[in-house]
Amino acid sequence: MTLINAIPNRTYVIVDFNGGPNLIQRLYSMGLYPGARIQIVSVAPLRGPLMIKNLDNNIQIALGRGIVSKISVREG
């Protein structure tokens, strides 16, 4: 399942990234990596970005739907 299909305020664990090396490096630099526990805090209306909270380091990041659709997660 990808993060775009996730339900807000539930905890998920990142499994993998479905993108190239530049995307993976960018996500790592934002503190997102396989095994990290995350939550969707809010979803902007009209296909806007999603506010993601990394529960491991308590950082919130706004990510566009294109990037979010490339993050594989599982509930956890």
Once rounded to an integer, what is the mean pLDDT over residues 44-73? 94
Write out pLDDT tens, residues 6-41.
999 999 999 999 999 999 999 999 999 999 999 999
pLDDT of res. 45: 87
- Give the chain's mean pLDDT: 94
pLDDT of res. 43: 92
Q: Which domains does the chain have, with CATH numbers?
A: 3-75 (2.30.30.90)
pLDDT of res. 73: 97
Rounded distance between C-alpha atoms, residue 65 and residue 76, angstroms: 22
DSSP calls for 10-49? -EEEEEEE-S-HHHHHHHHHTT--TT-EEEEEEE-TTT--
